Structure 1
């Protein structure tokens, strides 16, 4: 019933994420093929690119046009401060050009282009419109335009994440993964070789395939995957989608753990200790972004753990889309105390108990929750 209730919202979300993925692919190709000065840093030192701002403007424009700007509340990562400075004129021009290039391709994805190209003011307004802080009531779209920007900049894994929250509950999620290879081995290859091979995406043979959009509606009991379209092909909805399910592996010795590449906001030593105590034997698969949730939903990995260092607050846009997709594919996602994640408190996952644990099934999940309680007192968090 939930799938029927949000059928239009889900279809629109999938289509706009396809547009955003194509946008990101074009920008990443340009970024990796030439010296590009349109990568700057925010106050927290995370890189911001043309892609982040262009995706946010593009998705904001589509949602507002389709559902009405007065009816649309968007919680998103970026704001216009970074491109409102005189020194960022070149970046702003690049964003406007990229947005209009993407909007012009809309019919290919079953969406309508604007009658005329958007001007700078309109693009800035579309970005600014994403100024909601969410909360326990109402309907809020949650967007991370490029999750895993470091992976994006170096040619690795990243994701476009869009979710819809209604009255504090995530009701649908869409995850675009432009560089996600069909074969899991290539995710491991990427991590092992990212130091020497900066353009990982171009090394994936065509036969292995890359790029997909995953999506799910809460309560449907189904999660879906669509390959990205290439060339002049038209996006078919929903004919080209296939069902995905989590792995059936419940033996820790056979399970694969996903964890963040970055050490800045994740405690690798604690997760390594937990993995050892539960009996994991495989090397962890470390990838950027919410691709970790995609790996679990698709059955390519069994566990994702993240224990942030003291003072770091998890943002809802880093988890909302991935959580609902994993759950509908048959997995379990909670905090480290075994409680469901609470998306009703605004922009952050307030009240989070120690960390986040996502598993392909109840058996593995229970073992990790027990291990957290057993080892927490001796941890250095």
Structure 2
């Protein structure tokens, strides 16, 4: 059987994410980003909708038979024509460079834009059908503060990731000292990408070009006596059991965690080696994570030399639509650390039911 290279899929996704990264970084600098709060208490901005329209339009132009799953739907825009027009103005006037290698297809009208957004917002994937999972802005709450955020795209086949591309417009290229406040003021950040089984790569983004890829690979885990454990966390999360997280860090004598809000940015700090571990123990054991928070970033980390599973050591399955319905909790770490971390995390997670 001939091996599928996914070269075209990777190329198209990279250009789409690059253009959405340039757009969102430019939009973030505007003082009047319009934001509302969705029913789930998470924020959404006009830039979220516009970025989703740009991403789906660019990818669908090349792969019209594929399915899409994305975080936003156009319901709120259809109920608010004034806001819909504002989003259309953002999309139609987006100052995206039109060089030979970066041109992308954009929506042709306001109604076309709304329909394209809904292709993702109403999507649940389909059995036997390739599906793109998209997060137009991961970390909207930090985005509106001028901090770190990400644009994520992943191609799914048979429940598994084949291609992952994530743009980080505010991460400084080749600088491992990451924080929410330290952003790339001179450029447009960096991109990480991967194709299943072919390794991970990083690229610098500028306003005029997407620079050549460089291999991204982690150093092997050197055991706890030689390498300190550094977790990445999110202190603002209302979903995660922070007390149990602290218990695990104390047991492992871990360094103070790096507080990052965006899940996809957490995968970036793991992939480039700033941190080497992450856990997610939900307060509610029925909680399941949104697929778009993890698709793309997990593949990049794994292809960089890490491992991501749920709390029972099972790989993430992306065949259940908008959520990771078959997976409970999360453990991500360098490959040599992962097995021990799963054991500790599962024990602490299940401790209440054992008492």
Q: Same fold (TM over 0.5)?
A: yes
Contact 1:250/1:361, CA 8 A, preserved across alignment: no
Cα offset, 1:24, TM superposition = 0.5
Say which of 98, 108, 111 aligns to 1:121: 111
> Which residue in 1 is equivalent to 2:93?
101
- Give the CA deviation at 1:64: 2.0
1:365 to 320, 338, 343: 338
- Deviations along 1:309-342, one digit per CA (max 9) or x if unpaired, are 2143211111110111011111111111111111
Which secondary structure does the structure 1 equivalent of 2:189 belong to?
A: strand
Long gaps (5+) in structure 1 = 191-199
1:272 Cα deviation (Å)? 1.2
- Contact persistence 2:177–2:274 (CA under 8 A): no
- Once the two structures are TM-superposed, the CA of residue 360 in structure 1 deviates from its matched residue by 1.6
Q: Classify the secondary structure of the residue corresponding to 2:169.
A: strand
Mapped contact 1:223–1:244 kept (Cα < 8 A): yes
Kindly tell me the number of residue pairs found equivalent between the two proteins: 348
Contact 1:305 1:358 in 2 (8 A): yes
Structure 1 segments of 4+ aligned residues over 2 angstroms from their partners: 1-4, 88-91, 101-114, 181-186, 233-236, 246-253, 260-263, 372-381
CA drift of 1:286 comes to 1.2
Q: Which moved more, 1:289-298 or 1:92-101?
A: 92-101
| 1:241 paired residue among 195, 213, 216 | 213
Whole-angstrom CA distance in 2 between matches of 1:93 and 1:314: 32
- State the match for 2:204 in structure 1: 227
Q: Which secondary structure state, in structure 2, belongs to the residue aligned with residue 320 of structure 1?
A: coil
Evaluate the alpha carbon distance shift between residue 276 and residue 228 of structure 1 in structure 2; reply closer, same or farther with a 3 A threshold: same
Of 281, 288, 292, the residue aligned with 1:313 is 288
The 5 Å alignment of 1:94-243 reads 94-102=86-94, 105-107=97-99, 109-113=101-105, 118-130=108-120, 131-182=122-173, 183-187=175-179, 190=180, 200=181, 206=186, 211-220=189-198, 222-230=199-207, 233-236=208-211, 240-243=212-215
Contact kept, 8 Å, 1:147 with 1:161, in 2: the verdict is yes
After TM superposition, give the deviation of residue 113 of structure 1 in Å.
4.8
Following TM superposition, by how much is the alpha carbon of 1:376 offset from its aligned partner in structure 2, in angstroms? 3.4
Provide closer, same or farther for how the CA distance between residues 101 and 261 of structure 1 changes in structure 2, counting only shifts above 3 A.
farther
> Residues 47 and 375 from structure 1, CA distance in 2 versus in 1: closer, same or farther, beyond 3 angstroms?
closer
> Greater share of helix residues, 1 or 2?
1
Q: 1:325 aligns with which of 288, 297, 300?
A: 300
Identify the residue that residue 270 of structure 2 maps to in structure 1.
Answer: 296
Tell me what 2:67 maps to: 73
* TM-score (norm. length: structure 2): 0.90
| Matches of 2:194 and 2:318, distance apart in 1 | 17
Tell me the distance in 2 between the aligned counterparts of 1:51 and 1:40. 12
Instruction: Report the counterpart of residue 376 of structure 1 in structure 2.
Output: 349
Distance in 2, Cα, partners of 1:89 & 1:251: 57
Q: State the alpha-carbon separation in 2 of the partners of residues 10 and 172 from structure 1.
A: 6
| Distance in 2 of aligned mates of 1:2 and 1:211 | 36
- CA deviation vs aligned residue, 1:355-381 (integer Å, no higher than 9, x gap): 10111222x111111212433343489
Q: How many Å separate the matches in 1 of 2:104 and 2:295?
A: 27
Deviates more, 1:364-373 or 1:96-105: 96-105
1:322–1:378 Cα change, 3 Å: same
CA distance in 2, matches of 1:372, 1:112: 44
Stretches of structure 2 lacking an aligned partner (at least 5 in a row): none
1:82 corresponds in structure 2 to: 76
Cα distance change of structure 1 residues 224 and 107 upon mapping to structure 2, 3 Å threshold: same
Aligned to 1:276: 250
Distance 2:306 2:105 in 1: 38
Coordinate RMSD, CA, aligned: 2.4
8 Å CA contact 1:42–1:82 kept in 2: the answer is no
Q: Verify the 8 A CA contact 2:229 2:252 in the aligned structure 1.
A: no
- Tell me the equivalent position of 1:39: 35
TM-score w.r.t. the length of structure 1 is 0.85
Q: Provide the rounded CA distance (Å) in 2 between the counterparts of 1:273 and 1:2.
A: 49
